[in-house]
Amino acid sequence: MHNNKTHSHHLDEQSVADLPAHYRHGIHAVLVASLLALLAGCGGSSGEATTAPKPEPVQPVKPSKPASINVSNFKDNDTIRYSLPILAGTVSSEVKSVSITTTEKVYVADVVEGNFKAVIPLHVGANDISFSAGGQSGNIRINYVAADNPKKVRMMYAIAADDDGRFVAEAGMPNSMEDAKTRIALQALLMQSATAEMLYKGASQRVTYALVEDGYGKPIISTLRLPLTRAQLYAKTDNEIYQAIANALQAEPASSNFKNMVTMGFSSYQNGKIVGHAALGGGNLGIFGSLHLYACPASLDQLSASFGNAKKIDALVLPDDSGNRETYWAQCATGMGASLHELGHTFDLEHTPTGIMSRGFDNFNRLFMLREPGFAPVLTTQNEGGAVWDPISIPTLVNSAWFKR
């Protein structure tokens, strides 16, 4: 008998089974009706029946587009008047290198923390350069117009009257006069490129001087034979050596359109002492010794290895003019940078508080590299130390007749 006082709102299967048949049929009907009402009310808080929304069509997942490789210091279709631009850019930090393709060659540049630098030779005309690394890509066009400025820098190699032109080098290293000229020709291009890149950083104007070149656009390194022997030159002061070279130039075809940058092949190292070396510039003449050439590259392919060579200089055998850093890479950097410093004087630049016209020439390598032995920070274009033109120097250079846009 059903007792209302003990009524529970829960009926189990056995309880329903014990009821008379007409009760069981009624309960089932109530339950079905309640369930239908509940389902109809799921469409909203009002309890009114609503139509269930149609499911959104599933869109196929498209593969993400690979990130592009960006060149940060050149714009597409830029035009320059020198053949060896320094390209700097960014790429995914996961990759270790980037391939750079021109119509002539494929180059590989190291990537450090998502940054890369590369020195890429151009041919006259439009140069389409493509980049690829880890599924990423990029491209840029740089136009190279041969310099037509009649005012040029003439690179020269001075030798003594009794000299065959050999430069100081470690045993077994090729060091003939032709070997010297090969290294100086590359140095000339790097100095020219460095000048342009530093002016771009300091004045947003990528201008530089023109070089005396052959019909193939390669720097000509002229030989300047002095009327003095090595012994006579070694007995002279720096200023006297400068004057001896200036006097010898008077016998050369005169041209007011030349600035002469002379590397002294007769510089030597005797009994632990540097002789026949000087670093001076002004007027139409800059001079610097050849004692850095043993540490410098003979080809562009050797550039990174030379500026990354942490080998210690054996001062018992070879001269050390590295700014007290005592390593091959520093010897090369200081020699090239100091040569540009002396050439800067011929453009009427004075010494400055910072930059190349100070001791910043020791950082010449940083323009081309992302790493420096013994120096932890990455050498991005914003972190190249003294490899800049001081603001004092910039107006003189950009307004010079020797610098043409």
Residue range 80-122, pLDDT digits in tens = 999 999 999 999 888 999 999 999 899 999 999 999 999 999 9
Q: Same domain for 161 and 307?
A: yes
Q: Same domain for 359 and 330?
A: yes
Is residue 378 in a domain?
Answer: yes
| Backbone φ/ψ region at 289: left (φ over 0), alpha (ψ -120 to 50), beta | beta
Token pair listed for 335: 């020699």
Is residue 48 in a domain?
Answer: no
| Backbone φ/ψ region at 254: left (φ over 0), alpha (ψ -120 to 50), beta | beta
Is residue 21 in a domain?
Answer: no
Assess contact for 322 and 331: CB atoms under 8 A: yes
CATH number at residue 96: 2.60.40.10
* Percentage of the chain lying above the pLDDT 70 cut: 83
Is the torsion defined by CA of 109, 115, 120, 124 positive or negative? positive
Q: Same domain for 136 and 97?
A: yes
Give CA–CA dist 365/316, Å, rounded: 25
Backbone phi, then psi, for 218, in 5-degree steps? -95, 140
Mean pLDDT of the chain: 87
Looking up tokens 């910043």, which residue turns up? 360
Choosing from 115, 144, 173, the residue where a domain stops is 144
Choosing from 86, 113, 144, the residue where a domain stops is 144
Choosing from 87, 122, 144, the residue where a domain stops is 144
How many domains, the chain?
A: 2
Neighbours of 237 (CB within 10 A): 9
Kind of pairing, strands 115-119 and 106-112?
antiparallel
281 secondary structure, DSSP code: E
Residue 83 lies in domain: 70-144
Q: Same domain for 344 and 382?
A: yes
- Output the pLDDT for position 225: 97
Q: Same domain for 354 and 337?
A: yes
Q: Residue 210 pairs with which residues in a beta bridge?
A: 152
| Backbone φ/ψ region at 160: left (φ over 0), alpha (ψ -120 to 50), beta | beta
* Percentage of the chain lying above the pLDDT 90 cut: 80
- Output the pLDDT for position 92: 85
- Output the pLDDT for position 57: 52
- Cα dihedral 14→16→22→28 (10° resolution): -130
Assess contact for 101 and 95: CB atoms under 8 A: no
Q: Same domain for 159 and 281?
A: yes
Picking from 146, 80, 77, 149, the residue whose alpha carbon sits closest to that of residue 404 is 149
Render each residue's pLDDT in the chain as its tens digit; 405 residues.
444 333 333 434 444 444 444 444 443 443 334 433 433 444 433 333 344 445 455 454 444 444 689 999 999 999 999 999 999 999 988 899 999 999 989 999 999 999 999 999 999 999 999 999 999 999 999 999 999 999 999 999 999 999 999 999 999 999 999 999 999 999 999 999 999 999 999 999 999 999 999 999 999 999 999 999 999 999 999 999 999 999 999 987 778 899 999 999 999 999 999 999 999 999 999 999 999 999 999 999 999 999 999 999 999 999 999 999 999 999 999 999 999 999 999 999 999 999 999 999 999 999 999 999 999 999 999 999 999 999 999 999 999 999 986
